[in-house]
């Protein structure tokens, strides 16, 4: 193929994630979600986020943003990548058809929608965790719509994931594996899934390139401070990432993330 006619890396990457968005929109949300601006953002400590009406056009149109953090994708399994996308799509659904909670908060309406599409919210990343809160993980329900839709996506010959950030970081998610599915405590062998599909779902994204191509992250320096922001008044504080800070004025938790402003809703 003529190199000048080959699709750019940008086009290839965004075509892949747009394909997945369209797939899940159709199967899980009945094609009800509007198109969004899909972006890559290296927001620390989050796999992705949803930001309402972040973009505007010269024609006067507005659209929401769903951002994916490429830094964590390579160390995550394919199914976790798709979980992140659908997690944020559920926030998009709530923005369009429901009543979102305050900034960062995942409320009962959001949790019910997640469960209905086959993703169980949990603040611990495991069974038994709270289904609402500021910082939420989730896991696929064994026979839920999400898992089935992921299988269909992987088996679609038109879908492929071609690009991965080589400077990979470890996410807060527990990477799912064929041997240990901690969420529902069942073996993947119990599911009627073709082995190649199973391998594609549970293998880390780094295997697209080969582990030798992934650059190990530098050790975290203990003296690096994390910025904390109050979810209510946006007051700032700095300290160790492991701190659990509460704002004295608002009596609300302070999130160890970048500053939150009126245009941006940090989700994970």
CB of 174 closer than 8 Å to CB of 125: yes
Q: Which of the 8 DSSP states describes residue 4?
A: G
Residue 223, pLDDT above cutoff 70: no
Residue 130 lies in a domain: yes
pLDDT of residue 101: 86
Average pLDDT value for residue range 12-17: 95
Q: What is the residue range of 117's domain?
A: 3-213
- Domain count of the chain? 2
Whether residues 102 and 125 share a domain: the answer is: yes
Phi, psi of 153 (to 5 degrees): -65, -50
Whether residues 183 and 239 share a domain: the answer is: no
Residue 264, pLDDT above cutoff 60: no
**Structure confidence by residue, pLDDT tens digits, 23-46:** 999 999 999 999 999 999 987 778
Residue 260 lies in a domain: no
Locate all alpha helices (DSSP H) within 156-230, ordered by sequence: 195-202
Residue 221 lies in a domain: no
Whether residues 59 and 127 share a domain: the answer is: yes
pTM exceeds 0.95 for this model = no
**Structure confidence by residue, pLDDT tens digits, 68-123:** 999 888 788 888 899 999 999 999 999 999 999 887 789 999 999 999 999 999 88
């Amino acid at each position: 193929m003529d190199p000048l006619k080959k699709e750019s890396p940008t086009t290839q990457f965004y075509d892949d994630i747009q394909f997945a968005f369209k797939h899940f929109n159709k199967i899980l949300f009945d094609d009800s979600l509007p198109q969004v601006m899909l972006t890559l953002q290296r927001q620390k400590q989050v796999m992705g986020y949803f930001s309402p009406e972040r973009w505007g056009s010269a024609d006067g149109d507005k659209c929401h943003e769903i951002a994916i953090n490429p830094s964590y994708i390579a160390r995550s399994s394919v199914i976790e990548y798709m979980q992140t996308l659908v997690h944020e799509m559920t926030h998009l659904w709530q923005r369009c058809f429901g009543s979102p909670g305050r900034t960062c908060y995942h409320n009962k309406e959001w949790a019910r929608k997640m469960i209905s599409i086959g993703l169980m919210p949990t603040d611990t990343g495991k069974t038994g965790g709270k289904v609402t809160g500021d910082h939420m993980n989730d896991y696929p329900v064994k026979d839920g719509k999400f898992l089935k839709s992921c299988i269909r996506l992987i088996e679609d010959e038109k879908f492929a994931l071609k690009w991965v950030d080589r400077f990979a970081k470890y996410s807060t998610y527990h990477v799912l594996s064929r041997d240990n599915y901690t969420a529902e405590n069942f073996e993947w062998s119990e599911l009627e899934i073709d082995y190649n599909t199973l391998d594609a779902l549970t293998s880390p994204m780094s295997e697209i390139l080969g582990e030798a191509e992934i650059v190990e992250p530098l050790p975290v320096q203990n003296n690096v401070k994390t910025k904390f922001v109050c979810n209510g008044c946006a007051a700032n504080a700095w300290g160790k990432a492991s701190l659990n800070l509460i704002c004295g004025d608002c009596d609300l938790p302070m999130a160890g993330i970048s500053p939150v402003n009126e245009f941006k809703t940090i989700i994970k």
